[in-house]
Amino acid sequence: MVLLEPDFTLTRERRLRELGHDIVQAAYLRGNFVLSSGRHSAYYFDKYLFETKPSILRRLASFLGELVPETTDRIAGTELGAVALATAVALEIGLPFVIVKKEPKDYGTSRRIEGELYPGERVVLIEDVLTTGSQAVRAAQQLAAVGAHVLFVLGVLDREEGAAENIAAAGFQMRALFRRSDIGIG
């Protein structure tokens, strides 16, 4: 009889499924919520509940980092929700990042984009939870306005409520690590 050594490595697909499960366990809330779009929803993914857990953030950075093309010059993250994600991905793949602000402050540099960004640079914009995509579109437009080439918006979770269509209508591409239907919600 030949004894085979057990395989302790998990397949990528299984690790991804486990990550999706862990995100749901950590951040999926039921109730009556108002989303940033103004829509009401019976469920909510609290990004801060998964982004602030090192065991989840580390795995997210790894999987998101795999989706960033080698031709990318810089990562971008929107304040406040995607800053931790952009930081983690930048550390994972060794690229610099910028922070796209919702509004410039009326002190200091008053910039809408913090960090170094040069015209012509290829940027992947990291987002957390995408519903309508309006915040991602605004951030991508801000990046494009200063001369960056936005390769695509890369989200953790697409709620499948119009983000992909709205981002495409604005002239940008979108990818998401998970869709709502992938993780068994809805």
Task: Return the pLDDT at 5.
Answer: 53
12 domain residue, yes or no: no
Angle of helix 54-66 relative to helix 12-27, nearest 10 degrees? Answer: 130
User: Pick from 112, 111, 114, 110: which is nearest to 102 by CA?
Assistant: 112
13 domain residue, yes or no: no
32 domain residue, yes or no: no
Ramachandran angles phi, psi of 76, nearest 5°: -130, 145
- Tell me how many degrees the CA angle 75-170-139 measures, rounded to the nearest 5: 35
CATH of the domain at 88: 3.40.50.2020
Instruction: Please determine, for residue 122, whether its predicted confidence score (pLDDT) is greater than 90.
Output: yes
pLDDT digits (tens, 9 = 90+) for 127-181: 999 999 999 999 999 999 999 999 999 999 999 999 999 999 999 999 999 999 9
- Of 34-48, 55-69, 75-89, least confident by mean pLDDT is 34-48
3-state secondary structure 82-130: CHHHHHHHHHHHCCCEEEECCCCCCCCCCCCEECCCCCCCEEEEEEEEE
* Domain assignment of residue 146, given as a range: 57-183
CA separation for the pair 126, 121 (Å, rounded):
15
Domain count, the chain: 1
140 domain residue, yes or no: yes
9 domain residue, yes or no: no
pLDDT digits (tens, 9 = 90+) for 14-54: 999 999 999 999 999 999 999 888 889 999 999 999 999 99
pLDDT band at residue 182 using 50, 70 and 90 as cut-offs = confident
93 domain residue, yes or no: yes
Find all residues with CB under 8 Å of 113, minimum gap 6, and list them. Answer: 76, 98, 99, 100, 101, 142, 143, 146
Give this prediction's pTM: 0.90
